[in-house]
A and B are shown apart, each in its own frame.
Chain A
Amino acid sequence: MASGTGAATRRSRRGRSSESARSGVRYPGWYWPSFTLPGVLWLVLFFLLPFYVVVSLAFGTVDPLFRLPLPVYQPWWWSFDTFATTLEKFYAGDRIYLDPLIRTLLYVGTASLICLVLGYAIAYYTARRAGKWKGPILVLLISPFWISYLMRIYAWQSLLQPDGYINDAIGVFGVASTVWIGEPITVILGLVYGYIPFMILPLFGFLDRIDQNLLEAGRDLGAGSLQTFRRVTLPLSKPGILAGLVIVSLPMFGDYYTNDLLGSTQTSIYGNLIDDAVGQAGQGPEAGSLVLILIVIVMIPMLYYLRATRRSTGMT
């Protein structure tokens, strides 16, 4: 494989050289690599440096006067006490952070699955059945983005009040008024509502690009509609499913405002732990530690996604 890759690379280089020779343009060795510079700068400035600050906060300390977080940038002075204490809150003593973690996994898992089921149906219809309505449907799908997510959740908060329109509506069918705010199902549906467009759009992209000839070939070989879907469409859309799941679940893990507005302390999720720690004097290192622990947790689905996409694109 390695030699094959090397041969391919050599062929590619020869191809580029001959192309350059044909066009009469010769590029210096740094020319093409320099195109990566903006991306590298972006990563350094907007990911690595902020990430290093978070690490420095987690392993830093607090100002003894106002108890503001005091990052320590020199690794040889880092203290791991707060990180260890934070970690212990997941498995030792009263395990006060374990319940929110379990809740988060449950809520994010359920909400992602609902997003997938609903999103797949919508994306499939739009890509394969909508015909001339494809454009308008896509516009409608992204129309929620025209209004701030926060405002939309505020609107739901109002609709879900004990004397809100939702209770009025179900009251027509004789169902008793319910307190929706603070219930797990409300938080889960809030997450679905907020993130489902991020599932639909990548799925649509993949489903729309599936070659029609492959579907016809499946039918020519005797497969019914369901079997064609199961044996052709579904496997070909797997990268879209994985991408959609990653895109919706990662921000859900850090979400706190959905529960802030639609939930209660009894539905606290991981993002609320971070938000609460950030907002309290003296809790800065704990907030940083919670972020680092969350990063390790979300690395698991991320690594699976990378492994799956490498396999599906033939990379090793």
Chain B
Amino acid sequence: MSHPRERRAHLSRRDFLRRGAGAAVALPSMSAILAACSKPGTTGSGGGGTGSTGERVLARPDNPVTLPMTREPIPTDTPIEGGTLRVYNWDAYFYKKVLREFEDEYGVTVEWTTFNNMEEGIQKLAAGQIEADVFFPTTDYIGRLVEADLVQPLNHELIPNLEANYWPVFSDPGPFYDLGWRYSVPYVIYTTGVSYRRDRVDDAAAAQAGYDLFFDPAFQDAVSYYDSYRDAIGMMLLRNGDTDVNSDDPAAITAAKDAILQMIDQNDARLTINGTYAKLPEGEFTVSQAWSGDIVGAKWYLPRGTAEDVLGYWYPPDKKGLVGNDTIVITNGPSPRLAHEFVNWMLDEHYGYINFTQYNGYQPPMTSIVPERLVDEGIVPESLSAAVLGEENFTLGYLQGELSAEADGLWLDAWSEIQAGG
């Protein structure tokens, strides 16, 4: 009798995902149980599976990937569907007015379903629990979504705003994880730096300390760090002088883990997700690890009467820090043409700008958005100008990509130890 790991290698990808994720997410239905009890490889694949479990090339900035075309994009003359467009996005990542105006323009309904983390989003999408037309994944999932045949190639003729409004560095030849933007377009960009209260920390001191600000004993009980293993360990790798933010070196990962544990032990640092955008402006924390979009959006959480310039943000002045972007893809929903219209809508200069400035806080990589404009228009206080990105961030910064299973295991083991309290 073969070991199940060998047998499962004969399963198609779709079959794998449907059975596994479906059972894991919810109480199993009887049909799921019965399907799962059948001999692996004998149940229908559901179509569309690639059947491949071979080693995939991991995309890296120095090893960019052109994703295979799983089919032809929809023709340009495809009629725009009516009815409902189903959008699957992170919670609180849309300005609703942008959606409402799209509804008015096209005479359709936008049904927005949210997820709280990427694992949840992928599980529900792969299991078929969520039927979506448009999905907002992180970049490390793009290749896998293509391999699982859960997304469809884009017709760029239907998304003219990509070339018209977005940074040249992003348009040609495209990002390392999807050269030519075959399946994805950029949604927002961000850096990961150190935010602080300027009424308690001097700018010069923050600039001198950099990442070491988290270790300053003056901020006992007032430090927060993201409850997100890639960002937490990634930043500590940089602090330790290791620039491979996708490291599979056990010694480097252990050193980063030890540094985080030291920070927690020394300053009673908290792992949170809302530390930057909510707790720092409220005054609970003095120093917080920060995505640039979080600190830009933090002004909405300041107590009444508190000046916006109380918030500060440090990012390496040479731009050699963590940088990333989220994307939009079109899934296999029933309205692919309407989905193209929606993607183009989100990349529109006006709607991208108000989505960023009036609610989201996360910047789209548009040529029209420059720090001077944002400061002049009062969108971002001068003290947060470092939180506004330029094209050079993507040529100088360190981008996180998908990890191999082995490397991911090392990162997760380190993270488990941190979460267990060391």
Contacts and interface: CB of A to CB of B under 8 A. Distances in A.
Interface of A: 49-50, 53, 56-57, 61-74, 76-79, 89, 94, 96-97, 99-100, 103, 161-163, 179, 181-182, 264-268, 272-273, 276-277, 279-284
A73 B24 contact: no
Contacts of B148: 65-66
Interface stretch (B116-124, B205-213, B236-244, B311-319): B116-124
B60 interface: no
B251 interface: no
B390 interface: no
Given A73-B36, A266-B268, A103 B421 contact: yes
Contacts of A277: 416
Given A65-B144, A161-B284, A265 B421 contact: yes
Given A265-B418, A279-B117, A282-B412, A64 B20 contact: no
Given A66-B144, A268-B421, A272-B419, A73 B53 contact: no
Nearest to B220: A179
B37 A94 contact: no
A66 B271 contact: no
Interface of B: 1, 3-5, 7-8, 13, 16-17, 19-21, 23-24, 27-28, 33, 36-37, 53, 117-120, 122-123, 126, 141, 144, 147-148, 221, 229, 264-265, 268, 270-271, 283-284, 405, 408-409, 412, 415-422
A281 B119 contact: yes
Contacts of B418: 265
Contact of A71 (B13, B23, B271): B23
A96 B420 contact: yes
B154 to A, nearest CB: 22
B122 A66 contact: yes
Contact of B405 (A67, A70, A71, A272): A67
23 contacts: A49-B28, A53-B27, A63-B20, A63-B21, A67-B405, A67-B408, A68-B119, A68-B122, A69-B21, A71-B24, A89-B416, A96-B416, A96-B417, A96-B420, A100-B420, A162-B284, A182-B221, A182-B270, A265-B418, A265-B419, A266-B268, A277-B416, A283-B416
A279 to B, nearest CB: 6
A69 B36 CA distance: 13
A64 B54 CA distance: 10
Contacts of A53: 23, 27-28
Contacts of B264: 264-266
A71 B20 contact: yes
A64 B17 CA distance: 10
A49 B408 CA distance: 31
A182 B268 contact: yes
A49 B33 contact: yes
Given A77-B3, A267-B421, 17 more contacts: A49-B33, A57-B23, A62-B20, A63-B16, A63-B21, A65-B147, A66-B17, A66-B123, A69-B21, A69-B23, A69-B24, A76-B1, A99-B421, A100-B421, A182-B268, A272-B419, A273-B416
Contacts of A100: 420-421
Instruction: State the main secondary structure of chain A at its contact with B.
Output: loop
A63 B408 CA distance: 14
A71 B16 CA distance: 10
Contacts of B37: 73-74
A284 B24 contact: yes
B270 A77 contact: no
B421 A266 contact: yes
Contacts of B33: 49, 73
B419 A276 contact: yes
A281 B25 CA distance: 12
A286 to B, nearest CB: 8
B383 to A, nearest CB: 23
A68 B144 CA distance: 12
Contacts of B117: 279
A128 to B, nearest CB: 44
B19 A70 contact: yes
A256 B318 CA distance: 41
Contact of A61 (B8, B126, B271, B408): B8
Contacts of A161: 284
A84 B28 CA distance: 26
State the 7 A-B residue pairs at the shortest beta-carbon distance, nearest first. A70-B20, A77-B4, A69-B24, A268-B421, A96-B417, A179-B221, A68-B21
B271 A264 contact: yes
A163 B303 CA distance: 13
Contacts of B16: 63, 65, 70
B271 A265 contact: yes
B4 A50 contact: no
B21 A268 contact: no
A111 B141 CA distance: 43
Contact of A268 (B5, B141, B419): B419
A66 B19 CA distance: 13
B141 to A, nearest CB: 8
B28 A61 contact: no
Contacts of A279: 117, 119-120
Contacts of B412: 280, 282-283
Nearest to A59: B4
Contact of A280 (B19, B119, B421): B119
A68 B17 contact: yes
Contacts of B283: 162-163
Contacts of A71: 20, 23-24, 36
A63 B420 contact: no
Contacts of B8: 61, 70
